[in-house]
Amino acid sequence: HHQDTNHLVMSMHRLLKFPIASTFPLFSVQLIHVACVCAGHNASRDVVTLVKSILFHRRNPLHFHFITDAVANQILSLLFQSWMVPSVQVSFYDADELKSEVSWIPNKHYSGIYGLMKLTLTKALPSDLTKVIVLDTDITFATDIAELWAIFKKFTGMMFGLVENQSDWYLGNLWKNHKPWPALGRGFNTGVILLYLERLRRIGWEQMWRLTAERELMSMLSTSLADQDIFNAFIKQNPVLVHQLPCFWNVQLSDHTRSEQCYTEVSDLKVIHWNSPKKLRVKNKHVEFFRNLYLTFLEYDGNLLRRELFGCPTQATSESIRLQGALEELDEDDQCYDFRRERITVHRVHLYFLQYEYTLTGDETDITLVAQLSMDRLQMLEAICKHWEGPISLALYMSDAEAQQFLRYAQASEVLKNRKNVGYHIVYKEGQFYPVNLVRNVALRNANTPYVFLADVDFLPMYGLYDYLRKSVVQLDMAHAKKALVVPAFETLRYRLSFPKSKAELLSMLDMGTLYTFRYHVWTKGHAPTNYAKWRTATTPYKVEWEADFEPYVVVRRDCPEYDQRFVGFGWNKVSHIMELDAQEYDLMILPNAFMVHMPHAPSFDISKFRSSPGYRYCLQTLKDEFHQDLSRKYGAAALKYLTAQRNI
Ligand SMILES: *[C@@H]1O[C@H](CO)[C@@H](O)[C@H](O)[C@H]1NC(C)=O
Ligand SMILES: *[C@@H]1O[C@H](CO)[C@@H](O)[C@H](O)[C@H]1NC(C)=O
């Protein structure tokens, strides 16, 4: 096996999207290859549960091969990069390039064209990969995948390892005129396949499955179960090529199956296959047990899977070397060690957790509302969607279990379900501080429009703000000038507010004391330069000068500087960003007919911690000083004014 592994390793260097710094060590344990076809947002979410269940039980190094469309590629490549699981490699193959191989096959199965792509693996995967385990995304492992891999050893001349289909589908006669594709007996289920690629290539599989498909399609017209029909028709002609796997390697939970006859003890179970769009609602006497197993991995903290494998040398990636270096540079006696440690923590990120659709408007004026939140602000989402019809990029700071809660919430909400132009990006929780600027940056980086409105999730934009801002972007020639358009911020202390429908209405509410300028009672400096007195009567945009602690909500071009990630928890997260915009000579322009209103909520955990801890305040001051030094280094003498402004307070 060693030679085998070593040989593969050479070719993997070519294939890997993630650079490996050192050479791949010879493992005393075997490298296991897993292939999966994954397309779209939903499958990219489902496949994570499969991956977690494999990682949880495994003791071997793994190499995942994902056949992906552009969506799944974007989601999974960042997820694995940021997950940094030791002894796991990931390669991606472009499903679009494989489409022409299978698009000629008429198919009625819900998996669509992607379901058929399993037929093309001998071609899609590296030509020197000899064996692979092929899995559907709706599989959960209850055991170490190495046990399944070991079955390859039992193959005498065989090329497929498969479990019998546990339904009666291929027996035919399920209803009048039910005519399934030809199959051996009940047929085989292709949710779990041991695929001996090397042997299949040798017999010319690429031609053979095509011939089978062409022949059967003359009478069948289309496939009902995608790749599975073609595999089965082929196997019927060549039964000796199959090694039948015990059925506990693919316990199928679709309706009307005989899955219970497949195992005597639930503890024998090795792989569960949720092969029904109805998934969790199937009737099986152990379904509770299955459901719990599935939910366990669904909500399992993925950070725990970053553990090293026992007795397995870890290959160092350039990223892990960089992090190790950064970690070693930290001084453990530093009073602000925790803050600095947080700054180099890599959080797992799952982009586009829900379905997302957005097409660029042709006129290059589109604006994305950018914000971040955690579980405790979820209830704001519906209201924001009602106040802003344009695209939204949201980063959500959550645990794995909270992300599932969020998913259920979003799927139950009529308002959220009907909005496809909201990108939800999960940043998984880790460490003791809220890494607010890191989370903001994830939302900012994943906005797809030329402009962004950098907002906060506890604000409601005025009705019509989206259209007004798009007009302002043109009027103020944002495409050719460095400008930050300020949306003046107000607040209410009332949970039930009849939201002002115009500037005139807002002004009268200000006069009546139903509304205030933002942070009027606690921190006027944050928005003082907006000059609310001037704004009352302004009819055209006016420029203001930067002042210390100014933290307005602004519209800028998407290529604006990112937030400084050293600021975690409470304090200076937006202030530092606005300062940097000013250092880069952005003009701060106040919009005369725009406003947003802060809605009341309980104080966040980090604020309470800030208020009660002198250590926290000391470290924030230290970080501020370092930020100033960095600004001067970057922007020269001009940046000295920030230091002076700070001292004068
Ligand atoms: C993804 O799942 C949602 C329900 O959660 C469904 O409405 C949507 O149609 C699915 N998308 C695709 C492309 O299957
Ligand atoms: C087996 O047959 C059933 C039809 O009853 C079908 O729905 C299923 O997809 C087939 N294969 C699997 C995956 O069980």
- Asked whether the whole model's pTM tops 0.75, one would answer yes
- CATH of residue 203's domain is 3.90.550.10
Q: Answer for the pair 437, 568: CB distance below 8 angstroms, yes or no.
A: yes
Q: Rounded to 10 degrees, what is the CA torsion of 367, 371, 375, 381?
A: -30
**Residue 290 shares a structural domain with residue 162:** yes
Task: Determine the pLDDT at residue 564.
Answer: 94
**Residue 288 shares a structural domain with residue 365:** no
- Short-list 456, 466, 455, CA closest to 365: 466
**Residue 137 shares a structural domain with residue 247:** yes
Residue 132 dihedral angles phi and psi, to the nearest 5°: -155, 145
Residue 291 dihedral angles phi and psi, to the nearest 5°: -60, -40
Read off the pLDDT band of 610 (50, 70, 90): low
How much of the chain, in percent, has pLDDT values that exceed 90?
63
- Lowest pLDDT segment from 17-31, 166-180, 428-442: 17-31
Token pair 């209830």: residue: 379
Q: What 3-state DSSP class applies to 73?
A: helix
Whether residue 188 lies inside any domain: the answer is yes
CA 576 to CA 580: how far, in whole Å? 6
Which helix (H) or strand (E) segment holds residue 210: the answer is helix 205-220
Answer whether 357 contacts ligand 1 (Cβ < 6 A).
no
Q: Rounded to 10 degrees, what is the CA torsion of 234, 238, 241, 244?
A: 80
Which residues contact residue 231 at a Cβ distance below 8 angstroms, ignoring those fewer than 6 apart? 118, 119, 160, 162, 188, 190, 193, 209
**Residue 150 shares a structural domain with residue 275:** yes
**Residue 253 shares a structural domain with residue 389:** no
- Which whole number is the average pLDDT over 195-205? 96
Whether residue 340 lies inside any domain: the answer is no
Closest-lying ligand 1 atom to the alpha carbon of residue 42: 1
Answer whether 190 contacts ligand 2 (Cβ < 6 A).
no
Q: How many domains does the chain have?
A: 2
CA 265 to CA 263: how far, in whole Å? 6
Whether the pLDDT of residue 423 is over 70: the answer is: yes
Answer whether 40 contacts ligand 1 (Cβ < 6 A).
yes
390 C-alpha to ligand 1 centroid (Å): 21
**Residue 87 shares a structural domain with residue 181:** yes
**Residue 299 shares a structural domain with residue 364:** no
> Residue 34: which region, alpha, beta or left (left: phi > 0; alpha: psi -120 to 50)?
beta
Task: Determine the pLDDT at residue 617.
Answer: 83
**Residue 561 shares a structural domain with residue 628:** yes
Supply 527's token pair.
Answer: 């928005």
- Short-list 279, 280, 237, 245, CA closest to 262: 245
H runs (alpha helix) in 168-286: 197-202, 205-220, 227-237
CA 486 to CA 634: how far, in whole Å? 25
- Which whole number is the average pLDDT over 573-585? 94
Task: Determine the pLDDT at residue 530.
Answer: 94
- Helices and strands in the chain: count of H runs, count of E runs: 24, 23
- Which whole number is the average pLDDT over 328-349? 87
Ligand nearest to the CA of 408: 1
276 C-alpha to ligand 1 centroid (Å): 14
**Residue 163 shares a structural domain with residue 299:** yes
Of the residues 271, 306, 341, which one is the last residue of a structural domain?
A: 306
Q: What 3-state DSSP class applies to 645?
A: helix
Task: Determine the pLDDT at residue 28.
Answer: 54
Ligand nearest to the CA of 180: 2
Question: First and final CA of the chain: distance in angstroms?
Answer: 70
Beta bridge partners of 557: 451
Whether the pLDDT of residue 4 is over 50: the answer is: no
Supply 529's token pair.
Answer: 């330069």
**Residue 391 shares a structural domain with residue 492:** yes
Instruction: Tell me the pLDDT tens digit for each residue of 340-393.
Output: 888 888 999 999 999 999 988 778 999 999 999 999 999 999 999 999 999 999
Whether residue 366 lies inside any domain: the answer is yes
Whether residue 18 lies inside any domain: the answer is no
Residue type, 114: Y
Whether residue 329 lies inside any domain: the answer is no
Whether the pLDDT of residue 565 is over 70: the answer is: yes
Of the residues 249, 283, 306, which one is the last residue of a structural domain?
A: 306
Instruction: Tell me the pLDDT tens digit for each residue of 29-68.
Output: 799 999 999 999 999 999 999 999 999 999 999 999 999 9
Q: Answer for the pair 526, 549: CB distance below 8 angstroms, yes or no.
A: yes
Read off the pLDDT band of 23 (50, 70, 90): very low
Which residues contact residue 495 at a Cβ distance below 8 angstroms, ignoring those fewer than 6 apart? 599, 600
Answer whether 296 contacts ligand 1 (Cβ < 6 A).
no
Whether residue 575 lies inside any domain: the answer is yes
Q: Rounded to 10 degrees, what is the CA torsion of 373, 375, 380, 386?
A: 80
CA 397 to CA 26: how far, in whole Å? 39
Task: Determine the pLDDT at residue 572.
Answer: 84
Ligand nearest to the CA of 71: 1
- Short-list 595, 616, 403, 418, CA closest to 515: 595
**Residue 264 shares a structural domain with residue 398:** no
Range of the domain at 201: 26-306
**Residue 50 shares a structural domain with residue 189:** yes
CA 527 to CA 535: how far, in whole Å? 12
- Lowest pLDDT segment from 59-63, 337-341, 425-429: 337-341
Q: What 3-state DSSP class applies to 315?
A: coil
Answer whether 189 contacts ligand 2 (Cβ < 6 A).
yes
Whether residue 36 lies inside any domain: the answer is yes
282 C-alpha to ligand 2 centroid (Å): 13
- Which whole number is the average pLDDT over 277-287? 58
What's the mean per-residue pLDDT of the chain?
Answer: 87
Read off the pLDDT band of 574 (50, 70, 90): very high
Answer whether 115 contacts ligand 2 (Cβ < 6 A).
no
Whether residue 342 lies inside any domain: the answer is no
Instruction: Tell me the pLDDT tens digit for each residue of 477-526.
Output: 999 999 999 999 999 988 888 999 999 999 999 999 999 999 877 777 88
